[in-house]
Structure 1
């Protein structure tokens, strides 16, 4: 039987490392493009203040990038450590985009980030600008392949289960790459990263203006971040709607749980603005709904129906029973691979095999499962509703706040009033943690909402874990917490020191009142630096 404690600790370890890693990813995505924009202005205008901005924000980007790479490598190793059966079962599909991402991150992105820092004295303005844009594009291409892999976990397309090898195998790699869930997740995630970078630049620049330091750099940085952030914040909402539409098509239970919709409603369904989900009673207390809104958003129609949680549980029970037919056919094939009848039965029902595996939580000989056990396994397809319900609403609330924030910033920037509105500068500084909170809530919704599946409808999470001992998990979990806490302290220390000292500390000889000294500082830098 499955050791649920080992599975839950494995989930906790991966969740901690993944969410910690994602503290760095959105800032890398956002800062890379902001730095490229700033250097583009420098090349077009020749004004040294833009060069100073490029180098300063580029250093902060570099610190964050290094931490992101270090934590990302460790996270990927966990697939072999804690999720060995997952790696065996779907490694042929999942490993391909991860391998391509490694090439993007370590050969393209890492190479050009080295040229960005060490090529100031060796490359012309235009060539260095090309390097900076390649760094930004490399970061985004790296994210693309990660999200293709993750999108396949949400919507496993382009692959089939091979009863001879007992593994999932690719039959259409183009379908894996062009997976609609993956594409929607990519554009939504990178847009959220752009918002994070813009808020970061706005907050640090606001602190500088409040203290009367580096005013030229801060004013221009806020102006760039305001326009870039407004476009990105609007994109997050629009592309988030596309991601939700993809969930309507491919992850109906996740959508129903996010909306705490227990019963199916007549089309178009209403949107629950507020409520207190009751998982045991299958009802929402103190519910406040906007009629028709959910149906219009999720189906983009007036007659599209959205099934409720209880209806989806009934569908899951039927798929479990069909999956048992596939499981029985698979057992016959293991005994006689030439059994044509068994192969035909398996080919007809293999898509539901994963639902039958849900019964492994209750008994090993799942072919003898009782109706009560089938009903229990069907209800296991319902994730915990309340955490999803509130996480989604926190993410959405922050998203709409940031649209208003950047709209205000853009309006003030176009009128040259950013520096004079100290209330807005304080609001900008206080808004610094919000995009990270929204991003973490978004990933929680995406991953926790997929439970109980590691691969949606294919492989239950409890079935994907390695057969480790409890002490093995505890040792690695404690080790990760200690090491990652230390890395967090180092990250914050390096960022705060660079921000506190300002650009002149990064470029020796640079004086705030003499921007032209940048050339002197860079020309005097050692050739090996």
Structure 2
């Protein structure tokens, strides 16, 4: 294997995934905000809410197109860059992706056209139903994608078949109701809602600071402040649930996020700040809060959270068990009717993925030395400092949004968004949800390493047989294409924001309304 090809393939997929995820959260959140805004229009029959819905719908459409374009490329990458991964686990991983296309994407793509061009052809209630179906399709897409990703984090409902030498579905219900997938879905979707609410707040604040479209801006901010407050609270609560699922399913990721080198007495403290030292296996200048990590991770005062060193020893034991399973598989390849070999395989099959970690050091895991087994066990430790700091930045921004939207909710009733300091704060907050979301995605994916599917398939075995120049060519090509698309998308969004909702506004809205421009402070 060529590790340069593997690392470049990882870089390419990371770049395309992070780029795609710039558009997904805003699409998720804006879709349901459009439902809320149009519901107000249907109930009140006031034209201004139609104007508001169509304006934010236009921005949703621009963002939606870029999200689709970048998402399709990612699916092709499984075949181009990760061919063995697609072969080995495609029976499980491919099913949610196919269902996403058939159930969610077709619904979303069909209804979005009706939503944009059906304003004058459908009744108010009919058009609201179409908008709701767009939002439903958008969020169902996220559900199926995160079911697939959740299986990579916690591969339930599947077993290795020594006859086909592939992973196969054993219980699709377990795949569908995977606790990791469900926790990731609600947490990710809530983060998208926060993103959209922050976006609407920031753009509306821009209008109010300039005394433009104040009728549209204030009403938009009122919806966004309530929606954002509920969503920001949900993000923190559901993020706590995600942490709880790690205790049972991804112990090493949890230990790495906390830089918990040794198993502590229950209940474990949470480290608010520190400097993790990989070489010394310690965290310098640690600032800890007693009991909190134990409560988050185990929901009790008696449950323990395993430390990194103990988990490495456990990985060592599982590698040795996996070698036994690997040997049994080799015997079954020669004679499928070898009853003794099949019995040995059934006893140790849950650890066969750990034996594959040894292929980084030796072609036949059965020939591995104790030193190589120890190296493979140590490889199960992800990048602790990166996870430690990314998680704390993400969590810090999450708590900041609770305070921000609480202030927005108060400002909606107390001052009608007439305080310039708050409006400037709203524009400053605009990039923060994307930073938190991208960091959260990096925590999830870096924390899974060295696995492409946790405990099943090491990342370095999943790559296609490519050359370094081939991977560099696609990285450069995708970067150039996506860079151009990013420039186009940003220019379209900014042009639409500068223009405002004028093409949809009746005269009484176009010439503002009862709200005067903001007084100077």
TM surpasses 0.5:
yes
- CA distance in structure 1 between the partners assigned to 2:237 and 2:382 by the alignment: 26
Cross-structure match for 1:117: 116
Cross-structure match for 1:34: 33
Q: Is the 8 A contact 1:192 1:439 kept in 2?
A: yes
Aligned residues: 513
Q: Deviations over 1:363-404 (max 9, x none)?
A: 102211110000000000000100100000000000000000
Matched, 1:253 2:252: yes
Cross-structure match for 2:167: 168
**Deviation at residue 280 of structure 1 after TM alignment:** 1.3
| 2:276 alignment partner, SS class | strand
Structure-2 change in CA distance of 1:97 and 1:200 (3 Å): same
**Deviation at residue 511 of structure 1 after TM alignment:** 6.2
**Deviation at residue 418 of structure 1 after TM alignment:** 3.7
Structure-2 change in CA distance of 1:510 and 1:77 (3 Å): farther
Matched, 1:453 2:451: yes
From 465, 489, 492, the counterpart of 1:491:
489
- CA distance in structure 1 between the partners assigned to 2:416 and 2:382 by the alignment: 45
- CA distance in structure 2 between the partners assigned to 1:357 and 1:161 by the alignment: 13
- CA distance in structure 1 between the partners assigned to 2:6 and 2:97 by the alignment: 23
| 1:286 alignment partner, SS class | strand
**Deviation at residue 509 of structure 1 after TM alignment:** 7.9
**Deviation at residue 104 of structure 1 after TM alignment:** 3.5
Q: Is the 8 A contact 1:254 1:450 kept in 2?
A: yes
Cross-structure match for 1:202: 201
Q: Deviations over 1:426-466 (max 9, x none)?
A: 00000000000000010000000000000000000001111
- CA distance in structure 2 between the partners assigned to 1:355 and 1:374 by the alignment: 10
**Deviation at residue 105 of structure 1 after TM alignment:** 4.2
| 2:273 alignment partner, SS class | strand
Structure-2 change in CA distance of 1:510 and 1:504 (3 Å): farther
- CA distance in structure 2 between the partners assigned to 1:509 and 1:101 by the alignment: 43
| 2:510 alignment partner, SS class | coil
Unpaired runs of 5+ residues, structure 2, are 514-521
| 1:275 alignment partner, SS class | strand
Cross-structure match for 2:380: 381
- Pairwise mapping of residues 329-340 of structure 1 onto structure 2 (< 5 A)? 329-340=328-339
- CA distance in structure 1 between the partners assigned to 2:503 and 2:424 by the alignment: 25
**Deviation at residue 412 of structure 1 after TM alignment:** 1.0
**Deviation at residue 106 of structure 1 after TM alignment:** 3.3
Cross-structure match for 1:521: none
Q: Deviations over 1:8-31 (max 9, x none)?
A: 000000000001000000000110
- Pairwise mapping of residues 295-444 of structure 1 onto structure 2 (< 5 A)? 295-415=294-414, 417-444=415-442
- CA distance in structure 2 between the partners assigned to 1:106 and 1:272 by the alignment: 42
Q: Is the 8 A contact 1:418 1:424 kept in 2?
A: no
Structure-2 change in CA distance of 1:510 and 1:16 (3 Å): farther
Matched, 1:213 2:212: yes
Q: Is the 8 A contact 1:159 1:168 kept in 2?
A: yes
- CA distance in structure 1 between the partners assigned to 2:400 and 2:383 by the alignment: 27
| 1:391 alignment partner, SS class | helix
Cross-structure match for 2:518: none
Q: Deviations over 1:231-254 (max 9, x none)?
A: 000000000011110111100000
- CA distance in structure 1 between the partners assigned to 2:488 and 2:74 by the alignment: 19
Q: Is the 8 A contact 2:262 2:306 kept in 1?
A: yes
| 2:301 alignment partner, SS class | coil
Structure-2 change in CA distance of 1:144 and 1:371 (3 Å): same
- Pairwise mapping of residues 261-280 of structure 1 onto structure 2 (< 5 A)? 261-280=260-279
**Deviation at residue 420 of structure 1 after TM alignment:** 1.7
- CA distance in structure 2 between the partners assigned to 1:11 and 1:419 by the alignment: 45
Cross-structure match for 1:519: none
The alignment's TM-score, normalised by the length of structure 1, stands at: 0.96
- CA distance in structure 2 between the partners assigned to 1:251 and 1:456 by the alignment: 8
Structure-2 change in CA distance of 1:288 and 1:336 (3 Å): same
- CA distance in structure 1 between the partners assigned to 2:231 and 2:292 by the alignment: 24
- CA distance in structure 2 between the partners assigned to 1:336 and 1:507 by the alignment: 76
Q: Deviations over 1:236-278 (max 9, x none)?
A: 0000011110111100000000000000000000111110001
Cross-structure match for 2:500: 502
- CA distance in structure 1 between the partners assigned to 2:416 and 2:504 by the alignment: 26
- CA distance in structure 1 between the partners assigned to 2:219 and 2:76 by the alignment: 42
Q: Is the 8 A contact 2:246 2:254 kept in 1?
A: yes
Q: Is the 8 A contact 1:418 1:425 kept in 2?
A: no
From 468, 473, 476, the counterpart of 1:475:
473
| 2:121 alignment partner, SS class | coil
Cross-structure match for 2:516: none
The alignment's TM-score, normalised by the length of structure 2, stands at: 0.97
- CA distance in structure 1 between the partners assigned to 2:104 and 2:77 by the alignment: 18
Root mean square deviation of aligned Cα:
1.2
| 1:63 alignment partner, SS class | helix
Cross-structure match for 2:236: 237
Q: Is the 8 A contact 1:409 1:418 kept in 2?
A: no
**Deviation at residue 198 of structure 1 after TM alignment:** 0.2
